[in-house]
Structure 1
Amino acid sequence: MQQQYNTKQTTDWAQTNQHQAINPSILYYGTPVIILSTLNNDGSTNLSPLSSSWALGDCLVLGIGTQGKAYENLCHHPECVINLPDSSMWPNVEALGRTTGSSPVPEVKRNMGYTFCQDKFSVAGLTSERSVQVAPDKIVECPLQIEAVAQHMRTPEHTPFMAIVEVKAVKVHAHAHLISDVNKIDPKQWHPLIYNFRHYYGLGERQGENFRADK
């Protein structure tokens, strides 16, 4: 049955919730956190927490700072792993927050308080695991792991310190408790970590479902 809306209630709400023009310093309006695995030149794996990504089919788009080790690594080796932590793992993610795999530390990052870290798995209390189709290691503790290969990278003219990276998923791994049916993730069991204006959140209560939810 199509949902009916109370137009008067909607009008009253709009009248009491007037918008104001603002100029926020950040626009992280609530996106899943990922930890990106990339390959260092010595064959070890670098970990980078990211808050900008989206997926459509087997194509994923990542927003990556050009001053970081992840961008440098992808320029030399296109393979990566998109590790998705659940909401309980925010301390592990935050432990990576001020670390960088770049040495020497780029000036812009040094001024922000970043320090060099060679073994990010140890500093974040995470465990490495060999991937199946790509060279960088996966993170055991992350309930979802997406092995991928970068297809295209570009730097927007208006934001030269950021890169838009398009990757193709080649292998997906999920903790057994998340799988509800063959090749399906149970949304009741999956609790992504959400980056909400630089604060960590989990999901709220289920509100409904899309008409294609069971497709």
Structure 2
Amino acid sequence: MTSTVAIRPSILYFGTPVVLLTTENDDGTPNLAPMSSAWALGRTVVLGLGEDGQSGYNLRRRPDLVISVPGPHLWRQVERLAGVTGRFPVPESKPAGFRFVADKFGRAGLTPRESDIVRPPRVAECGLQFEARAARVGSDATKDFLIVEAEVLKVHADPAVVVPGTDHVDPEAWSPLIYNFRHYFGLGPELGFTYRSETPH
């Protein structure tokens, strides 16, 4: 049995995928934001956003969004977005040093690609891209965050990560960027698979 110690970590990002969230600003331009509080349940992706960020502001007004999932090779591009916001003026709640940047795609060195169903663009460099629409946007229990339930309308995938002739993502070919206690990681070697896997090896 493993012994434990009681701790109070400042954050609880215990290893979650990074996503790049694209929403639409009031003037029709895109806002691109990195986030690491996202999980999927069926065709729904649940997102946790800062209450005062531009993404939350946009989603309260326009429900269309794109969830692009970067691989580990894109961590530097993701990090270029870490200290900037699309909100002007910069909210006082943001950490010291945050600054406003209008062109987030340019800042990150990423390429917008037109979506098929929703207005915000996809991130061309990401191996998985989900066009989605927010079905519910509301505050969390502490009123510090927004919880967004987004229905995925269309999935785009790099053919290199798809099992040929199927609609399945190949877990040996696909690796998400993981945010682990404020450090970036990729996946290690496969350990095994669940009995529900549709792509056993």
TM range (shorter): over 0.9
Letter aligned with residue 55 of structure 1: A
Whole-angstrom CA distance in 1 between matches of 2:47 and 2:67 = 10
Give the structure with the larger helix fraction: 1
Q: Return the offset for 1:84.
A: 0.2
Whole-angstrom CA distance in 1 between matches of 2:153 and 2:37 = 20
Mapping of residues 1-150 of structure 1, within 5 Å: 14=1, 17-109=2-94, 111-150=95-134
Residue of structure 1 aligned with 2:177, choices 151, 172, 193: 193
2:162 pairs with 1:179:
yes
Whole-angstrom CA distance in 2 between matches of 1:80 and 1:153 = 12
Give the gaps of 5 or more residues in structure 1.
1-13
Q: Provide the alpha-carbon RMSD of the alignment.
A: 1.0
Letter aligned with residue 154 of structure 2: K
Q: Return the offset for 1:174.
A: 0.3
Matched residues, percent identical? 46
Q: Return the offset for 1:112.
A: 2.6
Letter aligned with residue 156 of structure 2: H
SS of corresponding position for 1:37: strand
Letter aligned with residue 49 of structure 1: P
Runs of 4+ in 1 over 3 A off after TM superposition: none
Whole-angstrom CA distance in 2 between matches of 1:162 and 1:112 = 19
Whole-angstrom CA distance in 2 between matches of 1:29 and 1:112 = 24
TM-score (norm 1): 0.90
Letter aligned with residue 103 of structure 2: D
Q: Return the offset for 1:79.
A: 0.4
Deviations 1:182-206 (A, max 9, x none): 2111111101000000000000110
SS of corresponding position for 1:89: helix
Whole-angstrom CA distance in 2 between matches of 1:88 and 1:211 = 30
Deviations 1:92-134 (A, max 9, x none): 000000110001111111x432100000111100001100000
| Greater C-alpha radius of gyration | 1
